Structure 1
Amino acid sequence: MTVTPAVSPHYVRGIKNILGYWQTQTQQVRDDDLPGLNRVHANLLRFVQHGLVVNETLPFAAQLMLQLLPFIERGGHWDTWLPMYERALTEGRALSPQTSHQLWLQRGTLYRFRGDLTQAVQAHRRARTLARRLDDRLAVAQADFQLAEDYRILRQLDRATVRCTVVLQSLGAHDQARPVQASVYNTLGIIAMEEGRYEEARDWYVSAVALWHTLGEPTQQARCLRNLAILARQQAAYDQALVHYQEALALLQDTSNHIDRCRVYLSLGSLYDAWGMPDKAEENLRAAEALSRQGEIDYQLRGNILHNLGNIALKAGRLAEAEVALRRAQTVWRQTGERLYLANSVGVLGETLAAQGQLAAADDCYQEALTLLQAFPDSPLAQRWTAYFQAQRAGLG
């Protein structure tokens, strides 16, 4: 589609009025707004599509897209809206540099949700370049944080840490910077947890929870509480982990945010599995699976649900079911280049095949898993999985 040079003034006025109305309605999207926005989602998409057609309405459509990000993210609508971002930026002659920066920033984030980290990094670098041209410290910090998240998911933890440190050093003490600071605290907590620095991770998470609470952001607060729960679970503090999960669910229970509730139930399943309560583990995993069917979910969540369902089925002796789920999980990890979790799914598939008497195929799986894990010598998870799969392989006889 190309930008039309001249259209009816009546058409332009009509589209501007509609887009202006929805800009007013979506100035601050909260979880409570999601059900209403879901009901008019098709109309919103159509209004934006019309607004992207001509230069006179393009800025109005772009602004509405920016305001709708919480809805797009929490509703799992990134595949639906990514073409709108691409169209706006391709046809962006009438956009201000500030708007272009924000669109590139959000475009990269949506690519990350979809599992396309190469496109995510490229978009966030473009956003950072635009922010530097604007000499906008906060905009640069926003781009640096998104790059940190990209690098973290790519397992480039040193690069992610550097970006986070740069953000904290560059931000001033004004209110607009506080959401970025809270996000950085959470990311630094995840990095510290993945590197086995548990006390440091806890300090970062607690700081993030407190700041998100001050900012009145229950979804973000719930995400950090879930990370605190995962940290407690990894330290076998199961009672404390359960408290944090319950706190997170309490913040999310009255929302239509299926993705974050899905993540909590998935993690609860892992908690009960580690706690030796297989029935409760499967109950929560099935709840996560049911929520995942309510809309699009990100690739990591999809892969983890499949892996955990396979693991639970294996422990229950439902070997054919386990094999199907684990192979589907592997497909997700291979499509997105996620090698650490791929190693785990391949190794657990090896267990499943061994239980079926397919010892040669099981040995091949263990070999592949152990080879993949060699790329993560500093990861506590990789170290634990390596020891486990080595022992399982040795037991093949």
Structure 2
Amino acid sequence: MEAVPPRARVYVACVALGALLCLLPLPILRTPWWAVALLAVVYAGGEQLARRRFAGTFYPVLLAAAFLLPPAAAALVPLPGAVLARAEQRPEGLRRIWRAAQLTLAVWAAARVHWALGGRDAVVGSDFPYALVPAGAAVPVFCLVLTALDGGIRALAVGGPPAPSRQRGRGPVRRAWRGLFLRSLAPIGVHGLAGLMMAVLWRSPYGPVAALLVLLPMYVSWWVYAQSHQERAAHRATIRALVQAVDIKDGYTRGHSERVGQASMMIARELGMEDERVEVLRFAGILHDVGKLGVPTRLLRKDGPLTPEERRVIELHPEYGHEMVRGISFLGEARAAILHHHERLDGSGYPYGLMGSQIPECARVVAVADAFDAMTSTRSYRRARPVGAAVEELQRCAGAQFDPRMVAALVRALGRYGWHPAVTAEDESRVVPPAPPASERQEARR
């Protein structure tokens, strides 16, 4: 963000002042400056590498400093790396000051807790398992300080004048902290374990060189994670490109694909499917209409009624879609959902007229999600139905058109979480006539 609200600037200044106060009682004579300098250099280099290659943060060295050095000395370690790091957004200077102050406070707090619990003696004497106790207390404190400060800057960085309503603090401000600590604790805990190993080896006869070798397996694990992250990013880019192509060709259903993916994911989670399969079902919902790319645009945008021959052409879109994604291996069973999401339990669907359990489970999930969003979305010829009315229609058709198990799962998910699809400006501004022409009602069922 180019413009930082004044309240956020004041917040950064207060945090920076607190960080400076942490550095003041520095025990000059007793501080091993060579260790401070070495750890600071290693952190700065590791931070540059982590941000450039892995989009991560190099915490093990900071936690090792908290376990090895007096609090004020440990708080010096992150300063060079944070100040020299490249800021991804402007204003760069303010962001560097913020990062340096945040890390300084977090390291200082972790070191204070670690030393107060006798962690220094435990590390020097390699006293296991007691050394795990002060380290196990220091790591959550480190994480808590980081997430508390992060939540504060997120809440204050939301621009605009203060809202007069008392409910203002219950919205964006509360969401700024929600789940932040718990999401961060596990990865920082792994970094803390690596930092403790570094500290113990540092104080052992093997010395600092052996301690730095701990970073090698961390680097390898980060590299593996980065490769997986890049692969997932490529998957999302592939899907996004396909969906955008469909939306451009058939603006009538713009946004429909993402909402079907969301509803499919809700059903899959309610059914207790594993996370990997839930993700595949989301892909299936998003791509269920990709076969429309193979349908002539004049048919998708035709105003008048469709002839039987034209309807048969449109009903080929599941097969077109299946052919288009046949070679995309990461989609897995989503390919079957794309092919069979218009099948019906009573055998009256298409393209193959499958019945009951012959229809793949993933296709039965997407069929319910597709119909639900079609009914609850505003179209050019009619207003959206209320969620309750759409649910009643799904339940009425359960057993003949839809799988009752999938309908029940969607109903439970809606009762638990509600339905909050993204609404585009185009949807909000669309003019809706009071009644749909019969020809357009026919077209809507394609």
Structure holding more helix per residue: 1
- How high is the TM-score relative to the length of structure 1? 0.30
Q: Which has the higher contact order (CA 8 A, sep 6+)?
A: 2
- How high is the TM-score relative to the length of structure 2? 0.27
